[in-house]
């Protein structure tokens, strides 16, 4: 869907992006992870031509972006930035309707789309449509930002630390919801962040960057369990495994047996399950559907589930 080949971006003497190549497949959520100044945002902005390329080729949907008009390219790609940049003089509805309006959609279709988008991001259309951005909380504004980026139904969405300015509790909720939305709509997403937890929670694949170069690309499991070098290892501070566990639902790893007197497992994830094991000091967690021991958790980590690695 998006392919980068030997892409380089130089600002005078400074090389922001240094000859990187990667392929992002349709429906994939690729996270570029790295410390500030590593070139991750620049990489993102090269793709929608917000900054011009110095060297290399970028193809979007198989076409070289040099051959596509800047404005047409950007209209076809959803874009969310950290500061969101909602238009303060427009209502939430008009903000969301921006790109459909630019594309000259019919009024009625736009109106329906606005309602649909607000519901998708968990905001009630009646309550939020006519609000101004200044009347929204940080989390709500972020949701509107996502709704705006998805409103014209672009198959590709670029996101630059979209949840960076939200408090931790809301951030986690947004991340989970966003991942569900992304999977259900089958969007191709390139997501930039410096937040390790966020990357491990939502990514299909992670690309780790430093000083403008790609250090390692792989599934979260590969990156955490088989780090290419010390930089990658240090990045996760030895806790990456725990983050991996939060990606997995406990129900998928239960040893099945009926224990009707116990409660259901619900949507408990493996990280929470491990935490319960440790805090209860028991060897197995029993649910109505089955039980879980430390062995199942280890097995979960060792199995390779990624569809995108090969």
* Residue ranges in contact with other proteins by CB under 8 A: 48, 50, 71-76, 79, 81, 83-89, 98-99, 102, 148-149
> Cβ 87 to other proteins, closest distance in Å?
6
CB of 48 to other proteins, least distance (A): 6
Q: Which is nearer to other proteins, 8 or 82 (CB)?
A: 82
Nearest alpha carbon to residue 73 among 81, 64, 65? 65
CB of 85 or CB of 284, closer to other proteins: 85
Nearest residue (CB) to other proteins, 74 versus 205:
74
Structure tokens at 36: 């500030």
Cβ nearer to other proteins, comparing 8 with 98: 98
Q: How far is the CB of 69 from other proteins (least distance, A)?
A: 10
Q: In the complex, what is the shortest distance from the CB of residue 154 to other proteins, in angstroms, rounded to a whole number?
A: 10
User: What are the contacts of 23-27 at 24+ separation with CB within 8 A?
Assistant: 24/188, 24/190, 25/1, 25/188, 25/308, 26/1, 26/155, 26/186, 26/188, 27/186, 27/187, 27/188
**Nearest CB to other proteins, comparing residues 43 and 48:** 48
Helix residue spans in 186-268 (DSSP H) = 196-202, 220-225, 230-235, 240-245
- Three-state DSSP at 188 gives strand
Please provide residue 257's backbone torsions phi and psi, each rounded to the nearest 5 degrees.
-165, 145
Residues 6+ apart with CB under 8 A from 214: 20, 21, 22, 207, 208
Q: Cβ of residue 170: shortest distance to other proteins, in angstroms?
A: 20
Q: Closer to other proteins by CB, 113 or 205: give it.
A: 113
Residue 80 CB, nearest approach to other proteins (Å): 9
Distance between CA atoms of 94 and 270, rounded to whole angstroms? 41
170: number of CA atoms within 13 Å, CB side?
A: 15
């Amino acid at each position: 869907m998006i392919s980068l080949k030997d892409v380089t971006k130089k600002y005078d003497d400074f090389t922001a992006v240094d000859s990187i190549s990667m392929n992002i497949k349709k429906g994939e959520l690729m996270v570029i992870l790295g410390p500030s100044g590593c070139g991750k945002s620049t990489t993102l902005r090269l793709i929608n031509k917000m900054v011009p390329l110095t060297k290399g080729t970028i193809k979007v949907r198989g076409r070289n972006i040099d051959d596509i008009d800047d404005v047409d390219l950007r209209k076809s790609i959803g874009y969310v930035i950290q500061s969101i940049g909602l238009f303060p003089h427009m209502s939430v509805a008009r903000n969301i309707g921006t790109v459909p309006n630019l594309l000259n959609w019919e009024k009625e279709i736009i109106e329906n789309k606005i309602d649909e988008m607000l519901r998708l991001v968990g905001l009630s259309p009646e309550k939020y449509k006519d609000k101004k951005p200044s009347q929204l909380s940080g989390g709500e504004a972020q949701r509107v930002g996502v709704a705006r980026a998805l409103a014209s139904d672009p198959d590709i969405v670029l996101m630059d630390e979209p949840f960076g300015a939200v408090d931790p509790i809301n951030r986690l909720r947004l991340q989970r919801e966003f991942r569900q939305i992304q999977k259900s709509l089958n969007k191709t997403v390139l997501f930039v962040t410096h937040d390790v937890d966020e990357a491990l929670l939502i990514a299909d694949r992670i690309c780790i960057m430093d000083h403008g170069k790609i250090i390692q690309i792989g599934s979260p499991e590969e990156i955490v369990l088989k780090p290419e070098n010390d930089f990658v290892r240090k990045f996760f501070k030895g806790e990456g495994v725990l983050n991996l566990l939060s990606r997995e639902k406990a129900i998928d790893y239960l040893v099945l047996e009926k224990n009707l007197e116990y409660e259901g497992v619900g949507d408990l994830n493996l990280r929470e399950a491990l935490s319960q094991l440790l805090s209860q000091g028991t060897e197995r967690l029993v649910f109505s559907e089955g039980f879980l021991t430390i062995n199942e958790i280890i097995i979960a980590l060792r199995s390779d589930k990624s569809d995108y690695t090969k």
